[in-house]
Amino acid sequence: MLGPMSSDRPVKNVLFIMCDQLRWDAISGNGLDIIDTPNIDRLAARGVRYQRAFVQGAVCGSSRMSFYTGRYVLSHGTRWNRIPLAINQMTLGDHLRPLGVRTVLIGKTHMTADVEAMNRLGLDPDAPENLFLAQGGFEATERDDGLHPDRPGVHDLPYNRFLRDHGFEGDNPWHSAANSVRDEHGNLISGWLLRASPYPSIVPDELSETAYLTDRAIEFMRSAGETRWCAHLSFIKPHWPYVVSEPYHQLVAADEIPPPRRSEAELHHHHPVLRAFQESRVGWAFRSERARNSVYPAYLGLVKQIDDHLGRLFDEMATMGRLDDTMIVFTSDHGDYLGDHWLGDKDWLHEEAIRVPMIVVDPRAEASATRGTSSSDLVEAIDLVPTFIEAMGGDPADGEPWLEGHSLVPSLHQGAEIGRRGAVCETDYGFLEMSERLAPSSRARDRRATMLRTQRYKYILSETGPNLLYDLDEDPEEFHDRIDDPGLATVRSELHEQLFEWFRARAHDTTYRDATMARLAAPGGMARVGILIGYWDEAELAAGVAGELY
């Protein structure tokens, strides 16, 4: 077995593990501590646990495109699920390819190809040579977006074929077996319904989607040979449908779940968007004890199941020697309210929804000093692309102007702080049913909010209704909106201005690099290419070309 890598060598591979809808506090050591996740802890013991990591978008699609492009939602433009990633955007795969690295997908991306632009440019979205482009820069070893509703039609998913090979019949055993249950009377209940969660999934654990994707990851690593890779193992769970295989469905009892984190003050908050979220179907559903008692135990069971399968994966990696040459990241695309703040699902900007676990293991000797530490630096999802580039031997500066995050390698090696002034997360409620009712006179695309989260404050600029302000030192649970607090007037306007600066600093203009500008701006640079502006005569020109005159 190899020892830790020597100091000037890049890591050979990256394993980029993502859960879907995993709250920051659901794994051990992060708050709830209802279940143990020893295998995730085992990762954390070898790496750094970033405890203030925030996603950039509040739903799968927008958040993931930030993870995969290293860019804010405002910059990549995929503001919600099913919104195509614009054809011009550079992805992780585009950045790693020049380093000779395969980027491999095992699981979910929620990426939608920009077919309209592909058609306009004469690029066939189905042609094999365009697959990388149509799949968000991943070689789609095993693509599964994990959202296969019960509708008539073809469900041509490898996991469905796998389940059928194991005797689960039908068009879509993803739904009818893996995401359905039978109650005590043998009646079939769809796992989409909240009342299904206390029952075990029809498929056993070893055939669950979590087990299946883990198997595919192991299989990939065994067959990968000497080619360097960045493998994105992207679990579907603990995202809804909230059902889990035996025995995970009964690991946690209904009376062991935490009480809802919510206050009466929140329920009476006048903010139209907050109220609409509270009154939405899912908000209303999770207000009830019934839903929480049904779903929360299954949710934690799904997390425990992931941890167990990760244990299996890490053991296999140890055997293969892959723990020694592979950077491992464990994170999630967003959280889940589960009834906190009188809300369900996600889409809004409380910590429960947009703060995620973020554990990074750098196997190299330089990271020895930081192993097992945790950091309260403000980290963003967009930091991962530059981290991977640097860890794999590239220069994140080559990603300019695309990349908007910071490599975590200096933090992993020297404990250096990024020193980010604030983390930003964007949300769009224009796609939700509440939207039309809430802001009928606005353009659908203006139904948005942008959060700026500093170490102390959270400021939310809401395009509908007033802005919001929380002091997280005094009110870590975000029960009290302080936007009208005269004592915080200066803070409020400073955060507003900081957010304006953030908007102005976005790199929408991606077709040139700072170096291009510097070359044009060099003294005498224009004159040297024959563009002569403001020279009276030949003598001035000669001096100008020589760079002597300004």
3 or 122: whose CB is closer to a second copy?
A: 122
The crossing angle, in degrees rounded to 10, of helices 158-165 and 209-223 is: 110
Q: Could you tell me if 171 and 152 are in contact, meaning their C-beta atoms sit under 8 angstroms apart? A: yes
CA angle 144/147/151 to nearest 5° reads: 120
Question: Which amino acid makes up residue 544?
Answer: G
Q: Could you tell me if 47 and 368 are in contact, meaning their C-beta atoms sit under 8 angstroms apart? A: no
**How far apart are alpha carbons 273 and 65 in whole angstroms?**
25
**How far apart are alpha carbons 234 and 246 in whole angstroms?**
22
30 or 435: whose CB is closer to a second copy?
A: 435
Q: What is the DSSP pairing of strand 188-190 with strand 326-332? A: unpaired
Least CB distance to a second copy at residue 211 (A): 24
Least CB distance to a second copy at residue 261 (A): 19
**How far apart are alpha carbons 60 and 109 in whole angstroms?**
8
411 or 462: whose CB is closer to a second copy?
A: 462
**Sheet holding 423-428: strands in order across?**
423-428, 448-453, 457-462, 468-471
Alpha carbon distances (Å) from 522 to 509, 517, 518: 21, 9, 6
Least CB distance to a second copy at residue 92 (A): 14
Least CB distance to a second copy at residue 545 (A): 12
97 or 164: whose CB is closer to a second copy?
A: 97
Q: How many helices (H) and strands (E) does the chain have?
A: 21, 15
Least CB distance to a second copy at residue 534 (A): 3
DSSP string, 440-502: TTS-GGG-EEEEEE-SSEEEEEESSS--EEEETTT-TT-----TT-GGGHHHHHHHHHHHHHH
Least CB distance to a second copy at residue 265 (A): 24
Least CB distance to a second copy at residue 77 (A): 4
Cis bond leading into 357, ω under 30°?
no
Alpha carbon distances (Å) from 99 to 106, 394, 412: 21, 7, 21
Least CB distance to a second copy at residue 158 (A): 20
Q: Could you tell me if 327 and 391 are in contact, meaning their C-beta atoms sit under 8 angstroms apart? A: yes
363 or 396: whose CB is closer to a second copy?
A: 396
Question: Which amino acid makes up residue 302?
Answer: L
Least CB distance to a second copy at residue 202 (A): 17
Least CB distance to a second copy at residue 475 (A): 27
Least CB distance to a second copy at residue 486 (A): 18
Which residues, including other chains, have CB under 8 Å from residue 177's CB and lie 6 or more apart?
A: 163, 168, 170, 201, 202, 203
250 or 442: whose CB is closer to a second copy?
A: 442
Least CB distance to a second copy at residue 56 (A): 14
Q: Could you tell me if 212 and 254 are in contact, meaning their C-beta atoms sit under 8 angstroms apart? A: no
The closest of 334, 358, 344 to 451, measured between CA atoms, is: 334
DSSP, collapsed to helix, strand or coil, labels residue 142 as strand
377 or 463: whose CB is closer to a second copy?
A: 463
Element (H, E) at 206: none
88 or 319: whose CB is closer to a second copy?
A: 88
Alpha carbon distances (Å) from 273 to 329, 447, 468: 34, 9, 11
Q: Could you tell me where the DSSP H helices lie in 70-157?
A: 73-76, 92-96, 115-120, 131-134
13 or 75: whose CB is closer to a second copy?
A: 75
CA 207, chain centre distance (Å): 26
Least CB distance to a second copy at residue 453 (A): 18
318 or 518: whose CB is closer to a second copy?
A: 518
10 or 283: whose CB is closer to a second copy?
A: 283
Q: Could you tell me if 219 and 172 are in contact, meaning their C-beta atoms sit under 8 angstroms apart? A: no
